[in-house]
Structure 1
Amino acid sequence: MKASAFVYPWDVAGDPQAPARIADLGVDQVTLAAAYHSTRALTPRHPRHRVVTAEYAAVLYPPGEAWREHTLRPYPAGAWAPGDAYGEAAAALADAGLQVHTWVVLAHNSRLGAEHPHTSVVNAYGDRYPWAPCIAQPATRAYLVALAAEAAVRPGARGTELESLGWYGLAHLHAHDKTGGVGLGEAGQYLMSLCFCPSCREGYGRHGLDAGELAAAVRTALEPVWREEPCAPGWAGVEKLLGESTAAATRAYRDETARTLQEEAVAAVRAAAPEGFQVLLHADPVSYHCGANAGVDPAHILSVADGVVVPCTGGADLLAPFAGQRRGVLAANLTVVTGMGGSPHTLAADTARARDLGANALRLYHAGLASDADLAAVRAALSGG
């Protein structure tokens, strides 16, 4: 199976050994961040630094002049990725014989939410989630579609992977996070992720729901969750708490909103890209799930994009709904950083399991973050050693 390793530009820029080291892993390509959220990352082999702090979500190249006319626009990176950090890294990786694809994070941007609070998801209690742009808002959708096209189609890139192209909700790896005191379960997470901004209130109305009554119903439904009373797993829990018809109407609205955004973004990327450019989405086959791996309908998304990247660390079962469609790229995303819960030493077995479940490509997270021992294990697995 064709394998690609995730990489940040700061893993490569300033480290002349990095491209050859990544190529030596046995991967065919790299998925290089072009637009990325805030993070703090180790760079265990870099000759100039050991920790990179990306202070806010940014594009890792100079944003185009057209953005000057927009209120919502991408932020250029600071000192952690100055200038055209993406372009510099991409050129070095290509010179090492690696095919370069872009990695674009979209609806996940805390600085956007802080500077433009009206763009954020608002829960049933009125709390805003600044990390989560509401994908129902027309201006936000236009921003995300334009960003997808620009960040995806960088010079020399042969394809892209679009992350967070859908709803983001409560779950978020926030600095000093203190939200784990009550186990919300899937049902609680869904209810706490429902948005009640003006655009969503209007959207619920189109699906036969009064937004004020719905917000009150969500708050009431969450009371047993706060008391940690037992709840049915999955969607059955949402139906139990909210009622089948109301739950179905909220899901229909949110599924439609995400689906049309995904169609628009992929179309915009294709319009900007050269022939043969590959467009993949980081995806979860359960459409009501929120987060970096956007919830999708497998049949629909594989009729729109060229394929999906599916989280498989801890198990590859999420591949099966996509494999049943029998078309497109189905990439199993495996964490190979031991310190982040990955298992590089079982990569060969995990790859075989993913192949059995229909995967035809691999994504390895993350070449820049992994230790030397982790990289050695990856190299052995990909070489068959």
Structure 2
Amino acid sequence: MGAEHLPTTEFEIEDLGQSIGAPGGPAEDPTMVQLLDADGVLREDPTYSPLLADLDAGALRGLYRDMFIVRRFDVEATALQRQGQLALWPPLQGQEAAQIGSGRAFQPQDYVFPTYREHGVALARGLDLSNLLRQFRGISSGGWDPREHNFHLYTLVLAAQTLHAVGYAMGIQRDQADAVTIAYFGDGASSEGDVHESMVFAASNQAPVVFFCQNNQWAISVPSEVQSRIPLANRASGYGFPGIRVDGNDVLAVRAVTEWALRHARTGRGPVLIEAFTYRMSAHTTADDPTKYRLAAEEDSWKRKDPLRRMEKYLRAQGLADDAFFDDLKDEGDAFAKQIRAAVLAMEGPEFEASFNAVYADPHPLVAEELAWFKQYESGFADLDGGTEANAGEGR
């Protein structure tokens, strides 16, 4: 069994042998943390390998399962959008290791501030993934209670969540709570002023926050080298806190680096910036066409570093998983996708008044006035269908 286990949308993952290092990738950057290479060979690192000591065979298989399930979810969500069931969808294909590796390092009390693509982190935090689709179906401005799993609502405003994460972390600090906040953002968002401001505040206050940048190489159509001439992790030194660049397609390295960063922040030593060097294998969103701005050769070089293929090779080589495991997982993924589809098709839109009720926490006279106007306007259409039918009957 091999690549046929990996659900894909636009790309067929082929076993093409040795990884080709992209510019600034693991093959060219000796400072990048990598434990599991593209061939599934595990390396020892004196700093980070000990942080994986708690991962037994079941946990290692669990990391692969999570990556597989969230990719299958992503494939189904993309199909639902193409069929008109979702208004939009931001795929995560290729970034599964960055999200599952980091998400599985958190403790329950830690609070996550995602962007709009952290479907894998949501899975790791225990969310019902069908709730993620409520916002993209246009029937909710959120979809879940952030307090249930300490996983904030998706933030569509670029980089705004980094400021929220730092403010929350400063509150944790003042409450002397044993928790850390994690702010996810992309390489494109790293060029926003909000990220700079959040890092200034975090450094000045030694706030317990981990900045997790998923550098997927493209800010929609703008390549990362246009945004920064140095690795994004290097920016941390300008603020006076550690920056770590990790192979974002290596789920074990991401897990270890995130664990290190969380311990650093949790013990009062201040913020950490993690740059997970990965790749967006699909489109920025389903409204995007990546063939317009990037070359097939680039995509091919990253297919060889697919995070699921890498972990599968390791599990097989170590005798930790066999054909039966992967067959069962495929069946589980298909059943899960079927459940997701059924849940989406059963979703009904909220009552019209719900949009007005969510504007302010307490009743507001202006909102009440606007609601009354809309109700009056809507009432003008009450007999439209009946009137049209009557007129049609007279015409006969």
TM-score (norm 2): 0.29
Higher strand share: 1
User: Which structure has the bigger radius of gyration?
Assistant: 2
Q: Which has the higher contact order (CA 8 A, sep 6+)?
A: 2
Structure (1 or 2) with the greater helix fraction: 2
Normalised TM-score (structure 1): 0.29
